[in-house]
Structure 1
Amino acid sequence: MFLNKFEPELINTVILLSVFVIIRIIGKIAIRKIGVKSAINEARIRLISRYFTVTLLIIFLFIEAFIVGVELDEISIVFSSVFAVIGVGLFAIWSILSNVTSGIIMFFSFPYKVGDKIKIHDKDFPIEAVIEDIRAFQLHLRMDNGDLVTYPNNLILQKAVTLLEKDAIEDFGDFH
């Protein structure tokens, strides 16, 4: 009974799956030939092959949704939800990359060093502290009361900073 009710959809799905497998095999062979001819290393060939397979799979799922009778409005809701999640993920990655890039910039051109007492002119949260450590993502700042503040690298490059004292770390003792 189930097979009789959905026979056209099942036949179309089997045909689509067969076409998917054939296109995937031909695509992988073509990618490998192009990679070998262009002297591209094996890891990049495999990576491009995976990208091709994922793209082909997304197209397959999109066509399969039409075969089983999903409406265009329903598909648009799914795709908009997926793209929203991807957008949030990319925003999180952007924030991490921003801090790492700032850390690299600070390595080469930051005028302050570990041990300097600085004042960060932030209207919401002004900070006077000694630079205890400069890391990939943040600065470790030791406040006068002994509190440790971690300050993101990308923000330190956006705020005005004043040097109050050079090598002031010995004034506070060892807080490690």
Structure 2
Amino acid sequence: MYELFSDYRDQLIYTVAVIILLMIIQFVLRKAANKVGKRSEINITRTRLMFKYINILILLIAAFLLAFAWGVGLTDLSLIFSSVFAVIGVALFAIWSILSNITSGIIMFFSFPYKIGDTIKIHDKDLPVEAEIEDIKAFHLHLRTSDGELITYPNNLILQKAVSLIETHRRNDEGKDAL
């Protein structure tokens, strides 16, 4: 057992250092996302979605750094990552609208001026919509019209259209009207 530790001492130290560093970075990123969420009065479920994106990013960085630490050569590592990204790129090109909606959801998390409970009007010449924002998901908004109709509106389109705020009506996390 001692030989195992002595043979791989440098790799083990590097692994522990990378894990600690990435845990600190993850903590800071999650804290920042939580702070932005609270400051902007963003629903906690949207903040948790950002946490998932942060976890995925940290996991990818960890895989890259740890593979490099344990002796995978830079050319081998670049071959693996370029192959994986080529496959992912082809898959994402085939379903680009999903990637577009996820990216829009991330942008909306940090800079969308409307909140859950607000009544908005989307100025679309083909389908004008006036409705209350019921929920903001990773791919789309749930909008409820005055007739009770539920409309799912893609995130990428909401960033491309002109939107007017009709009425501000906030709800707290339990779904009750805020005072």
Alignment TM-score, normalising by the size of structure 1: 0.49
Q: Mark the structure with the bigger radius of gyration.
A: 1
Alignment TM-score, normalising by the size of structure 2: 0.49
